[in-house]
Every structure is written in structure tokens, then in C-alpha cells.
């Protein structure tokens, strides 16, 4: 799911840049609904489970989850206000992340997994209807005269020859590794430390709740301060929070501490990262360029999910995965500092 999510983020991003975000995201929700319907009604064994939850839902997330919606909204705003707008979008996703663990745990206990997936299909339908209103920004319509309009391949060449873009790819890889390590393995980690049941659910719910505060705050700070410095501080904070959590005795209080503090930095990387891409390269191919950055994020997500389980199977402990996450935080904090945030000045058309 993580890999397909990442693979299709730039593909749906290109569709959004060419034909409009409403069309790209709507198609994603249709695929999402199909994937959930297969889980609801299918055999859910072997390859069927991989196709539904892995391929179809993963593909759908490439259109519906963050990369395309955030970029499409960002196109409507100037560099001054863009991070605040994208922070609002990311905060909206956080509300879902807060409610989902609570609803799922309650629904599974009350009506079972099949009825729970039926409810999820209704949620997807609501998302599909809302996506129709994600209309393109008029700022990105072709203009006559002035600056030469870039082609898709010219924009790709420009981005991959820019050191700052490569550094952003590296930094967002770390983000994906960390949040998927937490999201996937925190239930097992808490159980391994003798805390079953609700503590892991509380952590995930608090992450969703306080991520609202974090993304809104980072969206606002991104309008005032250097985005690369904010990102460096975010990754430094993650290293400190993870260290305190894993080296402290397990307790409900420590679970609450981790949920609140890690929630504050959970997806707050999205507004400044998206903002830097738009600030440097403009917004014409923003969904595609940020989709590629998000692909790097999802490669990290795949490794966060995989290595957490691999280290546990190999050593009987999640500790080594946490150590990698801490080391990667230091790496990400450093790689953002050399990024040149200045917009690229393109040559005007010569008459």
C-alpha cells in the first residue's frame, strides 16, 4: 500500500496539473471505494487481500491523501499565505486521523469488521462528492506573452538539477519512515512493553488531535519564517521526542506525552515542504513535483513498516527501528539547511 501510494502520487499529480485536481481526486475516490468493497465482500485471502488493501487502496491514496489535495489548494494562494492554507488542509486530514482509531475500535466491537467497512464506503462517497469542488486555480491557466510556459519535461529537468529539490526528497523520506513506523508498529511496541489495548489507541488518537494544532501552527509560522529552518527544527524535535519515549519506563502518562508531542510534529512537515517546492518552482506543476517528493516519503514509509517488523523478528525488539528513526532525524535536520529557497527566475520570451 505504501509503495503504490507513493508510485501513484506523481501520476495523479500530473493528471491534476493537466486536467484539474477535481478529476484526479474523484477518480482516486472511485478506486478507493472499489478497494474497500473488495475487502467487504471478497475472500480476503492471499492475492485478493493484497489487491484490495494493497494495490487498489494504495493507488487511491496517491490521489486522495495529502499530495494532490494539498498542492491543488496551494495553487490558489501566494507564497505569503500558501503554507497557512495547506496547513488547514493537512489539519482537516488530522481530524480524520483523530476520529478514525476511536471509531474503528468502537465499531469493530459493536458491529464487526464487515459493517465497519460498509461505513468506510459511505465516508469514501462523501469524499468523492467533495472532490468535485476541488476546482483548478485560474492563476495556472496558460498566458500569452511574458514568461515562456514550461513543458512538463522542462519542469522535471529543472527540478532534478536543483540541489534543494534533491535535499527535500531526502528529508521527506525520513518523514515517511518515522510516521509509518509509529502508525504501523506502535500497537505491537506498546504490547511488547506490557501495555495492551487502549494506550496504543490513545497515542494514535492524540497524534491525530494534536497534529491539528501542529499543522495549523506550522502553516502560520511558514508565513513568517524560513521554511527550511522550520523543517530542521521539526526533525530535531522528533529525535528528542522519540528518545524520551523509548528510554522512559512505559506508562499511561508517557503514552499521553508521546501522543501529544509527536502529534505536534506528525504532518506539520507537509505545509513547509510543499511551500518550498511552490516557492522555488512555481505552481504550474506543483501537484506533480510534490507528488514526486511524496513518492520519496512513501519509500520511507515502506521501509518504516518493513524494518519495524524485520528488526522485531530478527532481534525480538523494536528498539533498533527506533534507533534508526532517531539517526534519520539528525540527518533530515542537517540536509534542509543548505536548501536555497529563492524562486527560480526564468527567461522571458524574446520577441
- State the SS3 of 210-236: HHHHHHHHHHHHCCCCCHHHHHHHHHH
Q: What is the pLDDT of residue 139?
A: 61
Give the long-range contacts of residues 38-45, CB within 8 A, separation 24 or more.
Answer: 39/117, 40/114, 40/117, 40/118, 40/121
DSSP state of 340: -
Q: What is the pLDDT of residue 148?
A: 55
DSSP state of 139: G
Q: Residue 11 CB: number of other CB atoms within 10 A?
A: 16
DSSP state of 65: S
Task: Tell which residue, 301, 102, 298, has the closest CA to residue 204.
Answer: 102
CB 300 within 8 A of CB 247: no
DSSP state of 341: -
CB 206 within 8 A of CB 256: yes
How many whole angstroms separate alpha carbon 99 and alpha carbon 72?
Answer: 25
Residues of the chain whose pLDDT is less than 70?
Answer: 138-148, 197, 347-351
**Pseudo-torsion of CA 181, 183, 189, 191, nearest 10°?**
-160
| Helical packing angle, 227-247 and 319-335, nearest 10° | 160
Write out the three cell numbers for 98: 483523530
How many whole angstroms separate alpha carbon 232 and alpha carbon 146?
Answer: 36
Between the CA of residue 30 and those of 16, 34, 129, 130, 139, what are the distances in Å?
16, 6, 10, 13, 28
Write out the three cell numbers for 205: 488518537
DSSP 229-283: HHHHHHHHHHHHHHHHHHHSPP-HHHHHHHHHHHHHTSSTTHHHHHHHHHHHH-S
How many whole angstroms separate alpha carbon 161 and alpha carbon 280?
Answer: 13
Radius of gyration of the chain (CA): 20
DSSP state of 135: P
Task: Tell which residue, 326, 240, 227, has the closest CA to residue 270.
Answer: 227
pLDDT in tens, 236-245: 999 999 999 9
Write out the three cell numbers for 20: 484539474
**Pseudo-torsion of CA 180, 184, 190, 195, nearest 10°?**
140
Q: What is the pLDDT of residue 351?
A: 41
Task: Tell which residue, 140, 150, 171, 160, has the closest CA to residue 76.
Answer: 140
Q: What is the pLDDT of residue 105?
A: 82
Amino acid at each position: 500500500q505504501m509503495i503504490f501510494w507513493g508510485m501513484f502520487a506523481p501520476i495523479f499529480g500530473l493528471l491534476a496539473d493537466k486536467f484539474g485536481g477535481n478529476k484526479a481526486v474523484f477518480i482516486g475516490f472511485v478506486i478507493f471505494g472499489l478497494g474497500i468493497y473488495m475487502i467487504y465482500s471478497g475472500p480476503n485471502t492471499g492475492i485478493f487481500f493484497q489487491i484490495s488493501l494493497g494495490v487498489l487502496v494504495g493507488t487511491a491514496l496517491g490521489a486522495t491523501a495529502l499530495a494532490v489535495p494539498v498542492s491543488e489548494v496551494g495553487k490558489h494562494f501566494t507564497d505569503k499565505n500558501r503554507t497557512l492554507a495547506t496547513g488547514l488542509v493537512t489539519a482537516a486530514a488530522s481530524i480524520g486521523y483523530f476520529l478514525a482509531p476511536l471509531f474503528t475500535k468502537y465499531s469493530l466491537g459493536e458491529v464487526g469488521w464487515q459493517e465497519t467497512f460498509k461505513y468506510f464506503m459511505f465516508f469514501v462517497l462523501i469524499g468523492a462528492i467533495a472532490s468535485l469542488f476541488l476546482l483548478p486555480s485560474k492563476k495556472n491557466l496558460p498566458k500569452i506573452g511574458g514568461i515562456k510556459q514550461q513543458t512538463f519535461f522542462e519542469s522535471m529537468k529543472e527540478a532534478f538539477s536543483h540541489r534543494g529539490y534533491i535535499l527535500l526528497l531526502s528529508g521527506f523520506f525520513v518523514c515517511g519512515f518515522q510516521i509509518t513506523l509509529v502508525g504501523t508498529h506502535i500497537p505491537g511496541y506498546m504490547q511488547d512493553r506490557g501495555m495492551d489495548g487502549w494506550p496504543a489507541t490513545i497515542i494514535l488518537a492524540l497524534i491525530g488531535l494534536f497534529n491539528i494544532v501542529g499543522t495549523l501552527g506550522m502553516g502560520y509560522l511558514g508565513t513568517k519564517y524560513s521554511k527550511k529552518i522550520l523543517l530542521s527544527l521539526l526533525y530535531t524535535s522528533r529525535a528528542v521526542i522519540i528518545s524520551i519515549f523509548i528510554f522512559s519506563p512505559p506508562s499511561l502518562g508517557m503514552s499521553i506525552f508521546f501522543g501529544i508531542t509527536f502529534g505536534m510534529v506528525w504532518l506539520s512537515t507537509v505545509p513547509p515542504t510543499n511551500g518550498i517546492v511552490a516557492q522555488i518552482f512555481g505552481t504550474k506543476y506543483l501537484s506533480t513535483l510534490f507528488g514526486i517528493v511524496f513518492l520519496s516519503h512513501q519509500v520511507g514509509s515502506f521501509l518504516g513498516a518493513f524494518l519495524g517488523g524485520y528488526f522485531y523478528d530478527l532481534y525480538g525488539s523494536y528498539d533498533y527501528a527506533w534507533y534508526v528513526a532517531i539517526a534519520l532525524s539528525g540527518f533530515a535536520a542537517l540536509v534542509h539547511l543548505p536548501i536555497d529557497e529563492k524562486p527560480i527566475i526564468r527567461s522571458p520570451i524574446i520577441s
